[in-house]
Amino acid sequence: MIGLPAGTRIWIAAGFTDLRRGFTGLSGMVQTTLKENPFSGHVFVFRGRRGDLIKLLWWDGDGLCLFAKRLERGRFIWRTRRQNYGADERPVHPGRRLHH
């Protein structure tokens, strides 16, 4: 398990993202769409169109980390851009699952 430093925020990008993007594309989205710094140490979470894949971008102080999670069944529950434009900053408690 990777522990996050105290004060780390988790930013959840509303809507879907083209997850063919990697480090450069997602960090660019953080800067232009979310108006945040991808090197801030916060975690940025993106969901693919089908809902079974998410990617997390995180600066660990030494370099950018890109994590991916694909569900075998089910979908990640996510707000659409119509429900909330841009990013939705939410506290996520350790051990809490973001899907059902």
The stretch 12-31 carries a mean pLDDT of 92
What is the per-residue pLDDT across 21-30, written as a single tens digit (0 to 9) for each?
999 999 999 9
- State how far the Cα of 56 lies from the Cα of 62, in Å rounded to an integer: 16
Q: Name the residue with higher pLDDT: 89 or 46.
A: 46
- CA-CA distances (angstroms) from residue 50 to 10, 15, 26, 61, 74? 22, 11, 18, 32, 10
pLDDT of residue 78: 80
pLDDT at 97: 41
Q: What is the mean pLDDT of residues 77-94?
A: 53
| pTM of the predicted model as reported, rounded to 2 decimal places | 0.76
The separation between CA 68 and the C-alpha centre of its own chain, rounded to angstroms, equals 10
Amino acid 39: pLDDT = 96
Contacts of 56 (CB under 8 A, 6+ apart): 43, 44, 45, 46, 65, 66, 67, 68, 69
